Amino acid sequence: MSDGEQPVDVVGVGVDGWAALSGRARALLDTAEVVVGGRRHLEGLVVGAGQQLVTWPSPMLDDLPRLVRTWEGRRVVVLASGDPLVSGVGTTLVGLLGAERVRVHPAVSSVSLARARLGWSAEGSDAVTLVGRDVDRLRRDLSPRARLVLLVSGAETPRNVSRLLVEEGYGDSVVTVLGYLGGVDETRVEGPASELSTSWDAGLTPRLYVLGVECRPAAGASVSPAVVPGLPDESFEHDGQLTKRLVRAAALAHLAPRPGDVMWDLGAGAGSVGIEFARAHPLNEVHAVERDPVRAERIGRNARRLGVPALRVVTASALSAIDTLPPPDAVFVGGGADAEVVERTWSALRPGGRLVVHAVTVETELVLHAARRAHGGSLVRLSVEEVGDLGSFTGWSPARAIVQWSTSKPWGQWDPSGATEGAGT
């Protein structure tokens, strides 16, 4: 931060309001030239001489850069709910201005308060934000015995979450609606998802609330799959263009998804490889490229059903899409590979990036032999046989063999600008 730049102070405010603010937070408000916040935060604030109160614009994100420019050289305090770095405006401002320009003064977060009321430890439960996100995002996080604290908004969300739990086989899960946490008028309503999915009255939804979900599979239910690679083939809607389970698991082992990775799935077919890459971590960002519009729509349906609705589907050929995509950490080419696709993909890979290409024809196999000579890596032939009926006997039926080339680009100097928040979820 240069000498002429003023830091922006972001002050967390609990439901109990001004009375609970620390002396330091009050001092920051007293000396601020501009105080920014929502109407709820600004109500009751005693305005000092010359102070300007600014209510967040709507939509906030679109107008925020312009608004921030008007703060230059002025002492600014931003008011936010709870911990501003838990799905809050603090995160947005750090991303816009840089950490050196933003000082965060958190109150107790709603996640911490929810865990305290439910008796859940931080290490024994996960926080999932659905604010501004598709509720289908939750499907990825469901598992028997999981404890989830959901950051949510909207009056219908308790019912929508409960319906999703029932669909996924978790109808016996306990859903707890915790309202006005930290205030004198806290509320708590809980019940099984199977009941709340039909009986929840949206008029009873608190204006400020958090959901707690203790996942319990219903008797005899088929619950959502694990996030490890190799989902059953029947997990995906497809027309035959599907990277089969065992081959897919082998490809994902070489693609090696890491938190925050950007991945391209070129010639995506049913989208199975990209979807599993996205499911590996909520921060992963996947771009599935498929030229056939019918298949492209199918990829979107598969992604939603498997809990990664933020997966981006691009309806185009691989070559025409490459220049429009962000630099990848991993690329899978499952169809339509030729020498130009391989070379342009290799050039686009970030340092440390992984590339996996599958071939089922001799022509594509020759391309992969040349690619291995140029860029190294491993070339293997994957043959899978399944047992089945052979008349009145039992025999092995071989599937079409797959040639798999996998390689990785050497690490160069680390560039922190390559980091990404991701949108797999």
CATH number at residue 205: 3.30.950.10
Within this chain, do residues 204 and 173 fall inside the same structural domain, yes or no? Answer: yes
238 and 378 fall within a common domain: yes
Question: In the numeric block, which tokens belong to residue 24?
Answer: 């330091």
**CA 214-258-407 angle, 5° bins:** 145
According to the model, what pLDDT value does residue 362 have?
A: 93
Which of 182, 214, 246 represents a domain boundary (last residue)? 214
Is 242 domain-assigned? yes
Order across the sheet with 312-314: list the strands.
Answer: 312-314, 285-289, 262-266, 330-333, 354-359, 402-408, 378-382
Compute the Cα dihedral for 334, 338, 340, 343 and give only its sign: positive
pLDDT of residue 288: 98
338, 362: one domain: yes
Q: Could you tell me if 65 and 96 lie in one domain?
A: yes
Residue 226 is assigned to a structural domain of this protein? no
In a shared domain, residues 73 and 149: no
If asked whether residues 160 and 83 sit together in one domain, one would say no
Show which of 108, 131, 148 is a domain's final residue.
Answer: 108
Please count the structural domains in the chain: 3
> Residue 403: which domain range?
233-418
From residue 74, give the alpha-carbon distance in Å to each of 35, 45, 46, 77, 105: 10, 19, 19, 10, 19
CA 47 to centroid of chain Cα atoms: 40
Look at residue 221 and tell me if it is in a domain: no
Task: Give a yes or no: residue 227 inside a domain.
Answer: no
For residues 104 and 125, state if they share a domain. Answer: no
Q: Among candidates 130, 131, 132, which has minimal Cα distance to 140?
A: 130
- Specify whether 17 is located in the same domain as 104: yes
Averaged pLDDT, groups of 10, the chain, 425 residues long: 75 82 87 90 77 86 87 91 91 93 93 97 96 93 96 96 96 97 93 96 94 95 86 94 94 97 97 98 97 97 97 96 96 91 96 96 94 96 92 92 95 60 43
The answer to whether residue 68 is domain-embedded is yes
185 and 302 share a domain? Answer: no
Residue 178 and residue 210 in contact, taking contact as beta carbons nearer than 8 Å: yes
For residues 129-159, b (16+ Cβ closer than 10 Å) or e, as one string?
bbeebebbbbbbbbbeebbbbbbbeeeebbb
Query: Quick check: is 3 in a domain?
Result: no
Which of 86, 108, 130 is at the close of a domain? 108
Query: Do the beta carbons of residue 377 and residue 408 sit within 8 Å?
Result: yes
Q: Are residues 54 and 65 in the same domain?
A: yes
- Asked whether residue 223 is domain-assigned, the answer is no
Interval 208-231: pLDDT, tens: 999 999 999 999 888 878 888 999
Same domain (yes/no): 327, 256:
yes
Residues 55 and 135 in one domain: no
Check residue 404 and give its pLDDT.
Answer: 97
